[in-house]
Structure 1
Amino acid sequence: MWDDLDTDRSGLLDHHELQRAVTSVNLPVTDASLLLSMMDKNKDGKIDFNEFKSFIKEREETMKAVYGQIDRRKANTIQYEDIAYVMKSLNIDAEDDSIREIVKRIDKDGDNLLTYEEFRSYLVLMPNLNINAIFDSFGSKTANAQDTFSVAIEISKKSNPTDLLLAGGVAGAISRTATAPLDRLKVLYQAGPPPGNPPYTSLWQATKSIMAEPTGWRAFFKGNGTNVIKIAPETALKFWTYENLKTMIAKDPKNISPIERFMAGGASGALAQSLIYPLEIAKTRLAIAPSGQYSGIVGCLTTVARTEGPTALYRGITPALGGIIPYAGVDLTVYSMCKDTWSARYPDQKPNAFVLLACGATSSTCGQLVTYPLVVVRTCLQAQGMPGRPHLYNGMLDCFQKLVTNGGVGALYRGIVPNFMKAVPAISVSYVTYEKTKQYLEKRN
């Protein structure tokens, strides 16, 4: 095999030779860079024979295990029915002719039976040897049409829409309740004190002010009821819309590119935010209002609509939508890429709760850094008009200008410390709960 790959007889393999090799056997790898980096132990950009031999040896056990999973008859051969059975069990669509083409593509001697040697020769240069990834690539009629292999192959399974909605709702409710005290601290910082009152100088000062309220420790959860009511349908809609949009807009639904993920994430976030936005107003008002000012969620919404007009229920929606599109796009894209990159590195393992937490934390941090100033502006616009908080800003741009003029650029990031303290565990718990709930519901069905 080495002689076949080393076409220039230099004793070294380069990117061009690897690319030609994977293309010649129709592997779904449009860029051999990942494969090169996996082989290149000394990172000199070339593969010598010892590096290649080590790479093949390390993959031998994995390839035998995958072959054994497909050879369910234990006949030491794989036939059409074996591949069809496994693809069906993985919820991967493939027509009969496509499956027969797979067998023909791998079968060197034409007997319609795949030996381990034939299977090994075909797949040895495939970066991801996870059985799901292998069969997902088989599910594509044109295996070499993948946009990129830097993001590992994602399986597009047929998930029940009700399950996706329920999983998203449960994830949102649990994550927000778990981090409600930090969320209230964040909102207090973002909105700032009423005119004439000094700003908070530390988290401890803000915490003491909450503890001094008449309701005691329950004051930390002020507005959380609205948050749960809001976040459950919002998260459910976001995940459900994202799962469906990414396959609708993708050129190849089996291999979704990062830009396609970004577009689906942004659109799903904007739609979800628009539908529940009045609850955002109620959440902010209840979190910063003195006890007794509003009589619950309905009382808050009706009071705002009656005293400030129905349009007040959508105050601040411009920066909200301006922030949710890049946030959702960055958040969901980074999360998917982190999880897929892990799967490519550890193809025989499923990501555990810790891995999902790390992926969620990373994606949340990236999204927050990009969009946080818009969140601060949104909160300021939502809060103005309340008793003791007069109208100070004439829209989003005016709010930006006045915040920077009065407090410097740092004013656009006030409250970012409690926000990160809240956002990382909140989003991480949300994703883990979503994944685990979805897995449970799929198994139950």
Structure 2
Amino acid sequence: MSDNVAHALAGAGGGIISMAITYPLITVSSRLQAQRNNTSESAYKGNLDAVKKIIAGEGIQGLFSGLESALFGSAVTNGVYYYFFEATKSAFEKASKVAAMTTGQSMTAGAIAGAMTVLITNPIWVVNTRLTVKKLEAEEEDAIGNASDSKTKSITTWQAFAKIIKEDGVLSLWQGVIPALILVINPIIQYTVFEQIKNRLQSTRKLGNLDFFFLGAVSKLVATVVTYPYIVVKTRMQLRQSKNESERYNSLLDGLKKILAQEGVQGLFKGISSKVVQSVITAAFLFMTKEALFSYTIRLLAILKGRKARLQ
């Protein structure tokens, strides 16, 4: 079994661990990104205010809305990404017979892995986004007199999945896929920065878990700040689209224009502080745990392969 599978399994494990640690920050960031009405009494005024209102209205569990789908999505996303990234990386290294990729090769590998990940996992994140901001959507519909009691009932991931298909059709599971594909630039930036700094440091000394922790943090910080406006548009496009044309985003460009017109430049950066903190911590733990899990995964696969050979 190739190392690509080991990288995928280690990435999936690292994704689950890092997602579980930082999920409340994702909830806060997602709700701030999705919030359009900033003037109502229930509107979130900032990160701390959002935390207080979520706990007051939904309890601690409100900070973990959609966690089940997020853990599954994180495992699949990181597993798919690492598999295709490492497969492309191996192809480049074999072709050029050089141990380290160039900046251009790192970006190409990131683009291929990112595009495959988006196309495969977008339905998972549509479901997760809707579960995470479900109460916020109900409150905003209530403000315009269209609320339904059913919108605030607790539902499982699979119930949400079935509900989306029934009400909006199968293709709605790929809402926001265009900005998500454009956001492939995020992991491209992240992994290019990571690989290039790692290669330079490895030429001078052996890297440890703490090195990978800080490399993951720095690379994700750069990527998140650069791409954040697209993250906001993607989040809103993954929600159930309003029948009101002024609130409906027909494309990425349309979404950017409407947010700027209705909310100003600050609308494109709603929730950025909690998102940056979450993204940096998640990436730091992901890179650190993934590298640690990789060696154990290699050993486990070798043991399983040995047992399989003995049974044949």
TM-score (norm 1): 0.60
The match for 1:70 is none
Q: Within the alignment, does 1:308 sit opposite 2:168 as a pair?
A: yes
- Give the letter aligned to residue 363 of structure 1: S
The match for 1:333 is 192
> Relative to 1, partners in 2 of residues 1:434 and 1:391: Cα closer, same or farther, differing over 3 Å?
same
Counterpart of 2:55 (choices 196, 206, 211) is 211
Counterpart of 1:424 (choices 250, 264, 280) is 280
> Relative to 1, partners in 2 of residues 1:229 and 1:194: Cα closer, same or farther, differing over 3 Å?
farther
Does the 8 Å CA contact 2:92/2:101 hold for their aligned counterparts? no
Percent identity between the aligned chains? 23
Q: Within the alignment, does 1:284 sit opposite 2:129 as a pair?
A: yes
Equivalent runs, 1:18-417 vs 2, <5 Å: 159-193=2-36, 197=40, 199-214=43-58, 216-249=59-92, 251-254=95-98, 255-290=100-135, 292-293=152-153, 295-324=155-184, 326-346=185-205, 350-385=206-241, 392-417=248-273
Q: Distance in 2 between matches of 1:389 and 1:423?
A: 32
Name which of structure 1's ranges 380-389 and 414-423 shifts more when overlaid on structure 2. 380-389
- Give the letter aligned to residue 296 of structure 2: Y
- Give the letter aligned to residue 258 of structure 1: T
Name the larger-Rg structure.
Answer: 1
What is the root-mean-square deviation in Å for CA atoms of aligned residues?
Answer: 2.3
> Relative to 1, partners in 2 of residues 1:246 and 1:235: Cα closer, same or farther, differing over 3 Å?
same
- Give the letter aligned to residue 178 of structure 1: I
**After TM superposition, where is structure 1 displaced by more than 4 Å over at least 4 residues in a row?**
193-196, 386-391
Shift of 1:168: 1.1
For structure 2, the residue ranges without an aligned partner over 5 or more in a row are: 136-150, 303-312
Q: Distance in 2 between matches of 1:233 and 1:429?
A: 17
The match for 1:82 is none
> Relative to 1, partners in 2 of residues 1:417 and 1:389: Cα closer, same or farther, differing over 3 Å?
farther
3-state SS of 1:383 partner: coil
3-state SS of 2:96 partner: coil
TM-score (norm 2): 0.84
The match for 2:308 is none
Q: Distance in 1 between matches of 2:88 and 2:276?
A: 29
Q: Distance in 2 between matches of 1:441 and 1:409?
A: 45
Q: Distance in 2 between matches of 1:322 and 1:237?
A: 18
3-state SS of 1:180 partner: helix
For structure 1, the residue ranges without an aligned partner over 5 or more in a row are: 1-157
Alignment size in residue pairs = 283
Shift of 1:387: 11
